[in-house]
Structure 1
Amino acid sequence: MKYRYTGPASGVTLADGQEILLWPAQVTELPADHEYVKTLVALGYLLPVADQILADSATEVTLGR
């Protein structure tokens, strides 16, 4: 699942050994069933992001060019 991180700069090592750096306002994919991810969601540091919002934010702004 994709989340927007809103906490302080941090990092997490997942059960498979993958290390993820978390930066404020960063969107990242994390496993929804991971205990630490559940904790960050409960604390309000991770907010689920809808795929449409990601598509909209990826649209290039050309200012009429």
Structure 2
Amino acid sequence: RMIEDAGFEIISSGTYFIKPFSNAQMEHLLKTGIIDEKIIRGLENMATYLPEMGCEIYVDIRKAKSTNQ
């Protein structure tokens, strides 16, 4: 809603990554070998199937066309 109120329209939106733990926890899990790069890639891929659970959110926008013409 804020985007439209600012005079823009949404082209697309989505997420890149599902992060089930805090940054510090993720770093610890990687350092201790509990998870590895394969798990990280899997979390990225899961965002396709569970976009509502993503942590890295993006919105592509463009200036809305004026309706006063």
Which category of TM-score, normalised to the shorter sequence, fits these structures?
under 0.3
TM-score (norm 1): 0.23
Between the two structures, name the one with larger relative contact order (CA 8 Å, sep ≥ 6).
Answer: 2
